[in-house]
Amino acid sequence: MINFGYKRNESATLDLDVDNSELYKKLLKEEPSAATCISCGTCASTCSTGQFTDFNLRKIMLLCKRGDTQSLEPIINRCMLCGKCQFACPKGLNTRHIVLILNKHLHAGKIS
Amino acid sequence: MKSIAIIGAGIAGIEAASRLSKQGHKVYLIEKNPEIGGHVAQWDRLFPSQEEAEIVLNDLIKNLNNRAEVLFNSEVQHCGKKDRQFEIILTGNKNLLVDVILVTTGFDTFRAQRKEEYGYGIYENVITSTDLEQMFKKHNVVCKNGNPPKRLAFVHCVGSRDEKVGNRHCSKVCCATAVKQACEIKELYPDCEVFNLYMDLRMFDRHFEDMYHEAQSKYYVNFIRGRLSEAGENKDHQVVLKTEDTLAGKPLKLTVDLLVLMTGMEACDTQKTLNTKLGLRSDTDGFLSTKDVFTQNNFSNTDGVFFAGTCTGPKTIPETLADARAAASLVNAYLMS
Amino acid sequence: MRIEGKEQIWKEYQKEIPNDDFFYVRSCIRQNLFPASEVIFLKILREELSKTIYETPHHTTCGGIGYHSDIVPIETVMTIIARQFALMTEAGFENYACSCITSFGLYSEIIETWNHFPELLEKTRKSLKEATGREFNIPKHLAHASDVIYKVRNEIAEKAKYKLINKHTGKPLKVVEHIGCHYSKMFPNKGIGGAEYPYVLTGMVEAWGGEIVDYPERRHCCGFGFRQYLVQANRGYSLANTHKKFESMEPFEPDMIITNCPGCPFFLDRWQYVIAETEGKCYGAKGQGIPVFTYEEVAGMVLGYDPWDLGLQVHQIAVEPLLDKIGIPYNPETKYQGLNGKDLGKPELPKNICSC
Amino acid sequence: MQERLASSFDPFVLPYTIGLVFILTYLFIALIRVVKALPNDDKFKLLKHIFSLKIFKSGWEIFMECLLHRKIWKKNWTLGYMHTAFAFGWFLLIIWGHLEVNIFAPHRLNLPWYPIFFRYFMMETETTLQGSFFFFMMDLTLLYVLSGLVLAIYKRFRRKAFGMKRTTKLRWNDQVAMYALWAIFPLRFLAESFYSEISGGSFLTAGVGSIFHWFYNFTENEIYIRPIWWAYSISLGVFFIMLPWSRYTHILSEPLFIIMRNAGIREEHRNSGYGKVEIYSCSRCGICLDPCQLVSVASLRDSAAINYTRHLRLWKSAKAHQAASTCLMCNRCTKACPVGVDTAALKLNTKHELVNLHTEKQYDYLNTSVKDISTPLNALTLSGAEATDVDVIYFAGCMTHLTPATKLAMTKILEASGERFNFIDAEGSICCGRPVLLAGARKSADELIKKNTELFNQIHAKTLVTSCPICYKFFKENYALNMRVLHHSQYIQELLKIGKIKINPTTAKIVFHDPCELGRNSGVYDEPREVLKSVGQLQSTAYDGDESLCCGHSIAAEALPYRKRRVMSDDVVEKLTTNNPDILATACPACKKAFSETNKIEVKDLAEIVAENLV
């Protein structure tokens, strides 16, 4: 392969024709409540970690659902798992479990 | 002469009573409060036309023309089938023997204290939509300290679409009410900044979208898609809101002088006592279960017991009145057969 | 896709193209990228169809590349264009035909601007007068060179020696047509067939026996986009655009691509090579690419001109497989010979994409 | 007594002997493996314990628990009797058997089957009757064991009589072992009865033997009663071989477990041999089933401690993980367990193994220069005398921000007390780290502990008061702070005691719900009650103290669906409000939210009640 000094930009499109739903399917299997998120943002605004970083569970779940899992990997383990979002969530999602499952799958085999 | 007991003298009860009494039936209108009119009597103006609630209610009462026997301060203690009729015992041991029971018990407003993180009953400048209507009625929309609000926010879906309080359902009217109230606030205080924290704006009915359009184009009401997660109070007793602007994808902080919680509709407590006595069933949302969702939504599963109004789920005022008229005509047909 | 829907649009967007007497201006970059195309255009019109095409060595760039790269201000561009029009006026022509799509877009834009703001026209007239002493008329008809070929497509078809038909299968070749963005996306009524589904190239392909491929990213830009290519840091973005188009057309297995813009054939041609050499992916059959042509080259091909006279040897993607499909003879020996018969030297062959 | 047969061997002893050899070999190997798996300091602890006087304490405990089953007696007399009859009765039988051999045939002590099948090989002589004492004791003990057996059979049908609503569901291996065990004693009884004519017996065996004799003279056809000895031996052999693969493993492991526990070994931060012994010490008696609300209320039987240990034994790690991550860690099972199996530590290990947390630098954002971090930490790092020169740090806790009434009440109380305080997390905070620890991520918890300790110790306060029992437990047990740690209930009680605040008593009827983390898991029961007694009429319930229930909203149970949680909180509210109290008080934001959501009764934090009635 030749290096021309530039590379094709990765597409910024959420391409739902490409099946990237593997992680989301795993998530649903292990925590079915993830399917009932209404993206209200309560979790993101009450988040303890969100005070310090741009950690945003609503967005994370949405991106996971849309198959954009790459961007989740570096941020998912920032969660302090304090559970505040779980108490605030109007739909009763097991938010901590969701974070743990995503963390597990995104970092499978990369344990330090 | 056939007799009907209508339980609940809200607008559905009043409308059904006036229709049925006009058709020559004996109507007992049972009301637990000392006055009739239900929730509408608490309201100042109504969406989408900004008509005064009092005028609408007075029209309905005028229509009723004292033909029905209104039993104030009365609650159903006991009721049961007796031959083909129903025996009802009211508070004060008053006995009624009727051919038909029409349930118009309506709804209860969600008790905002149950969402503790929103601070109702804890912070002095957190009120509900009902409180705000009272303020409108008294022409005194002010913060606790007596000053008009310079910034005000409405929180949609308080007690609605919330599994945690057992209400998965949408209360249907709060979005429109919030937009109506937002416009009214701007009418009253043009310089007041108004925010609506919504999840989905459900402007489903006729003229609603116009109202929303007006709120945006005429009053510059701010709409933020995000649910309030928690409210706090600062030193000046302003309410500090934490939410996420889900469209911007960022947490959002907002300090307001007055916070209005759009409390939703819940199944009525009174109705629950009727259930066991009359063999009525509640759906998972707590509201009464009708015989068929499409074709028989005024019928209960018990012969001779009919439904009208919000006891079968959240409805707007026009919907409630239409439902009451439908129920009245069905009751009439039932009594004639 | 329902063809009736497109035909309806094509009916709505028609433009008047003069039959003869054109003042012709060339493109800055095509002469380097596809050196024979403009020559072939003139040859076909003058020799095959006996049209009057006037050309002057005094014309310049339209300023479009500088303009779209945010370097040349619009006032300058207006004056440059005014000078081009002055040359046409001086030569006694009213029909202006340009080789370049960017120029075509820019002429349309400037003429439209002058229509809306007559004071700018006056200012331009003044500037031109002061700078060169020239005066000009706005052309009566502005046509892109592809409009002209479109106009005579049936005459060409009558004279054609070959058709865009696979001689092995007897089926029409599957042709991807790609229109330059500035042809009609800015002013839909300036193009044949409107902004969404211009008919100009489709008309030629249909007239010459081919079949158009309708693929999802048909309307997507080729990836040139001036700043996206001219700045090296942005080049990945240009590449991504082209990649998107090829990914979209790949399942249709097109035989060839026809274009009407200077940049498009270049990028559709060269980026295939870059994608192959950086990612190992080829979009044609058997590790080949999809050959890309200008409409003049295709016209020349069906008329039976020698492929090497059409300049097809400077294409990155080898054209021989397509020539074989149509049945056009060519001499591999003379591929890299100059006009004087002198060997020009063979280019280095790419590693990941099949070349002849 | 004299030997009846010339030979000291008969083929029927083989099943028993093989079983015995197997089980002894197994025990030996298992012991070595367990000790080997222990970390070195734990091995040292174990040795030190064995060679100290404390070993007698362990011995006594083994006697009381493994043989007499003292803790089960405390729960239910019938159940206790049943367990003791089996364990202690059998133990006595073995003792008598060995004594007999020791006295009457000491040269046969080297034959392991001799004490067991003593009556087959030995006979009573008419003249001496020396053995009659042992015969009597043997029969008495056998009767004792048989009475236990009758109860055990009865229990399979009528467990309620034993104080149990639920009992263990047995798998085939447990069933084989159990029926083998059940068979041992009646078979022995039959064998000895049939033989009582030959070898002699006491009131039970001889008496029953003579009844049999009416029907058939076995003595003359000894060959016909040999199968019963075979059966007896086989049942013993089967039981021994099934022992390691069944619930009865605990017979072997429990003594070791007691010794290790008394040696101070704990299952912490690693999966050591102790954990193994602990798992195998679970007798699967099923006593933990009823206390577990997941089983009794939420119908999640698989999550019960007893089933969790079974998943571990069977290497079903996914199921074990599921059980661990639905467990509320309320520790009601641990309190009830007669063996003292503490599954909480094991569950953390299970989660740690499977929750593959990528922990590298995950909380780096907390370590960027503190000043750069926006608002929340500013409150934590306020410099200057005003913020650092205080008596009390008040840390509401993450969750308390969702129950603002509690934090406002605490502010009011602190202001009224005149104490100088810093409401350190008024603008938000870093999590204490217990939730992440409960998810199995110890390293992550350590990071948070480190950061919080740094922040707290900057302020030179005497006391750290928190409103969250989860934080309280963690601050107290896992932090090294320069100040004492109090839960707000303790602190309010202290303020009341020293008179810094005064309250007007009311007539409100109050029921107090002990939060698990405060009560059972931290032992704070009295202070909140004293506070509530001084402000209203505290009603007691059947669920006070160690019996307290979990609200169902514990953050330990990551995978527990909300609907299940809700079923539990509804159930708790119903159980606590049978006497129609006015207020359901608690001292934990999670419990408060759980109960408020049920909308059945007014729910308040005790701080709110105090703040409302301050003088």
What pLDDT, in 10s, does the model give residues B142-152?
Answer: 999 999 999 99
Cross-strand partners of B231: B241
| Torsion sign, CA atoms B42, B47, B49, B50 | positive
CB C151 within 8 A of CB C144: no
B246-272 mean pLDDT:
91
Radius of gyration of the CA atoms of chain C, in A: 20
Which token pair is D172? 């085939």
Which tokens is B198 given? 């919504």
Going from the N-terminus, what domains does chain C have, and what CATH number goes with each?
A: 19-145 (1.20.1050.140), 151-334 (3.40.50.11810)
**Contact residues, chain D to chain A, C-beta under 8 Å:** 325, 354-360, 362-363, 365-366, 373-377, 398-399, 401-402, 428-431, 433, 435-436, 439, 441, 444, 448, 553, 555, 558-563, 565-566, 589-590, 593
Query: Minimum mean pLDDT among A45-54, D1-10, D479-488: which range?
Result: D1-10
Tell me, what's the pLDDT at C349? 85
| CA C25 vs CA A45, A94, B14, C19: distances in Å | 61, 69, 84, 17
C33-64 burial by CB neighbour count: b if 16+ within 10 A, else e? bbebbbbbbbbbbeeebebebeeeeebebbbb
Q: Are B203 and B209 in contact (CB under 8 A)?
A: yes
Q: How far is CA B22 from the centre of its chain?
A: 27
The pLDDT of residue D531 is 95
Confidence at D205, pLDDT banded by 50, 70, 90: confident
Burial D174-200 (b: 16+ CB within 10 A, else e): bebbbebbbbbbbbbbbbbbbbbbbbb
A54 touches chain B (CB under 8 A): yes
Q: What is the pLDDT of residues B38-91, one digit of tens each?
A: 999 999 999 999 999 999 999 999 999 889 999 999 999 888 888 889 999 998
Q: Please state the rounded mean pLDDT for residues D94-109.
A: 86
Yes or no, beta carbons of A82 and D359 under 8 Å apart: no
Peptide bond into D404 cis (omega under 30): no
Using the beta-carbon criterion (under 8 Å), do A82 and D428 form an inter-chain contact?
no
D504-612 CATH: 3.40.50.1860
Query: In 3-state terms, what secondary structure has residue B266?
Result: strand
Instruction: Give the mean pLDDT of C312-327.
Output: 92
In chain C, whose CA is at the least distance from the CA of A15?
A: C244
Burial class (CB in 10 A: 0-12, 13-18, 19+), A111: exposed
Cβ of B250 within 8 Å of Cβ of A54? The answer is yes
Kindly report the nearest CA distance between residue A40 and chain D, in angstroms. Answer: 17
pLDDT band of residue D220 (cuts 50, 70, 90) is: low
* Residues B11, B317 contacting (CB under 8 angstroms): yes
What value does the mean pLDDT of chain C take?
A: 91
Residue D282 CB-density burial (10 A; 0-12 exposed, 13-18 middle, 19+ buried): buried
**Structure confidence at residue D449 as a pLDDT band (50, 70, 90):** very high
- C-alpha pair distances (Å), B207 with each of B47, B49, B203, D366: 9, 8, 9, 51
Residue with tokens 């001889």: D206
Mean local confidence (pLDDT), C239-248: 92
User: What pLDDT is stored for residue D359 in this prediction?
Assistant: 66
Tokens for C118?
């007559």
Query: Of the given ranges (A29-38, C142-151, D35-44), which has the lowest mean pLDDT?
Result: D35-44
pLDDT (mean) for D4-23? 88
Q: Which helix (H) or strand (E) holds B45?
A: strand B45-46
Secondary structure class of D291 (helix, strand, coil): coil
CB contact under 8 A, B229 and A43: yes
| Average of per-residue pLDDT across B148-162 | 96
CA atoms within a 13 Å half-sphere pointing along the CA-CB vector of D225: 23
User: pLDDT grade, residue D368 (50/70/90)?
Assistant: low
Q: How far is D341 from chain A (nearest CA, A)?
A: 26
Average pLDDT for C306-329 = 92
B26 sits in which H/E element: strand B26-30
Contact (CB, 8 A) for C302 and C156:
yes
What is the share, in percent, of chain B residues with pLDDT greater than 70?
Answer: 100
Give the strand pairing for D392-395 and D122-123.
unpaired
Q: How far apart are CA D246 and CA D180, in angstroms?
A: 12
Sign of the torsion formed by the C-alpha atoms of D87, D90, D94 and D96: positive
Pairing of strands B107-109, B265-267: antiparallel
Tell if the CB–CB gap between C240 and A6 is shorter than 8 Å. no
- Residues D85, D148: Cα–Cα separation, whole Å: 5
Q: Which two tokens stand for residue D317?
A: 């790690």
Average the pLDDT over each of B178-192, D317-331, D378-392, D500-514 and give the range with the smallest value. Answer: D378-392
Residue B329, phi-psi category: left (phi > 0), alpha (psi -120 to 50), beta (remainder): alpha
HSE value, Cβ hemisphere, 13 Å, CA-based, for D181: 26
Q: If DSSP codes are grouped into helix, strand and coil, which group holds residue D360?
A: coil
Nearest residue on chain D to B228, judged by CA atoms? D402
List the one residue out of C12, C1, C13, C4 whose CA is nearest residue C183: C13
Q: Which of chain B's residues have a Cβ under 8 Å away from the Cβ of A71?
A: none
Using a CB-CB distance cutoff of 8 angstroms, which residues of chain B are in contact with residue D408?
122, 233
- For B52, half-sphere exposure in the C-beta direction (CA atoms, 13 angstrom radius) is 7
Query: Do D and C have ≥3 inter-chain CB pairs under 8 A?
Result: no
State the average pLDDT for chain D.
87
The domain limits of chain D are 9-38+69-245, 272-354, 364-495, 504-612
B328 touches chain A (CB under 8 A): no
Query: How many Å apart are CA D360 and CA C111, to the nearest integer?
Result: 63
Tokens of D385: 């005398």
Q: In this model, does residue C329 exceed pLDDT 90?
A: yes
What pLDDT is stored for residue D213 in this prediction?
77
The DSSP bridge pattern shows strands B26-30 and B69-71 to be: parallel
In sequence order, the β-bridge partners of residue D539 are D511
Range B296-312 average pLDDT: 94
User: Would you state the pLDDT for residue A110?
Assistant: 58
Cβ contact B193:B151 at 8 Å: yes
The residues near D473 (Cβ < 8 Å, ≥ 6 apart) are D434, D517, D518, D521, D522
Q: What is the dihedral of CA B238, B242, B245, B249, to 10 degrees?
A: 150
Q: D465, D488 in Cβ contact below 8 A?
A: yes
Averaged pLDDT, B158-177 = 94
Quick one: pLDDT at residue D358? 64
Among A43, A45, A47, most B C-beta atoms within 10 A, so best to mutate, is A45
Q: Give the confidence band of A109 by pLDDT, cuts at 50, 70, 90.
A: low
Helix (H) or strand (E) holding C24: strand C22-25
Residue D271 has pLDDT above 90, yes or no: no
d(CA D349, CA D347): 5
Chain D residues touching B114 at Cβ < 8 A: 596-597, 599
pLDDT value for D541:
93
What gap in Å lies between CA D221 and CA D214, rounded to an integer? 14
CB-based contact, B230 to chain A, within 8 Å:
yes
Answer whether D364-495 and D504-612 agree in fold: yes
Distance CA B11, CA B325 (A): 11
Helices (H), D51-123: 54-62, 70-75, 77-104, 118-121
Tokens of A34: 């993830």
Task: Please identify among residues 69-128 of chain B the ones whose CB lies closer than 8 Å to any CB of chain A.
Answer: 117
pLDDT of residue C253: 94
The distance between the two most distant Cα atoms of chain A, rounded to a whole number of Å, is 54
pLDDT of residue D378: 46
Q: Which residues have a Cβ under 8 Å from the Cβ of A7 and sit 6 or more positions away? A: C236, C239, C278
Q: Is residue D382 pLDDT above 80, yes or no?
A: no
Distance from the Cα of A88 to chain B's closest Cα (Å) equals: 6
To the question of pTM greater than 0.95 for the whole model, the response is no
Given CATH 3.40.50, say whether it is the number of domain D364-495.
yes
Sheet holding C95-98, edge to edge: C53-55, C22-25, C95-98, C141-144
- Partners of C98 in the beta sheet? C25, C144
Query: How large is the average pLDDT for residues D142-159?
Result: 89
Which of A3, A8, A14 has the most C C-beta neighbours within 10 Å, making it the best mutation to test the interface with C? Answer: A8
Confidence of residue D376 (pLDDT cuts 50, 70, 90): very low
**Residues 6 or more apart in contact with residue D160 via CB below 8 angstroms:** none
Provide the mean pLDDT of chain B: 93
Residue B28: pLDDT over 80 = yes
Kindly list the structural domains of chain B, giving each domain's residue range(s) and its CATH number in brackets, ordered by start. 3-106+268-336 (3.50.50.60), 112-264 (3.50.50.60)
Q: Collect all residues of chain A within an 8 Å Cβ-Cβ radius of residue D375.
A: 51
pLDDT at B45: 96
Question: What count of CB pairs under 8 Å joins A to B?
Answer: 64
Residue pair D152/D56 in contact by the 8 Å Cβ criterion: no
**Are D295 and D304 a contacting pair, CB within 8 Å?**
yes
The CA distance from A24 to the nearest CA of chain C, in Å, is: 26
Joined tokens for residue D532: 């509530």
* Residue closest to A84 by CA, chosen among A47, A52, A50: A47
Query: Which residue, among C239, C273, C316, would best test binding to A if mutated, counting the most A CBs under 10 Å from its CB?
Result: C239
- Provide mean pLDDT across the span C210-236: 87
User: Is B308 in contact with B197 (CB distance < 8 Å)?
Assistant: no
Query: Which tokens in the block code for residue D95?
Result: 């003792």
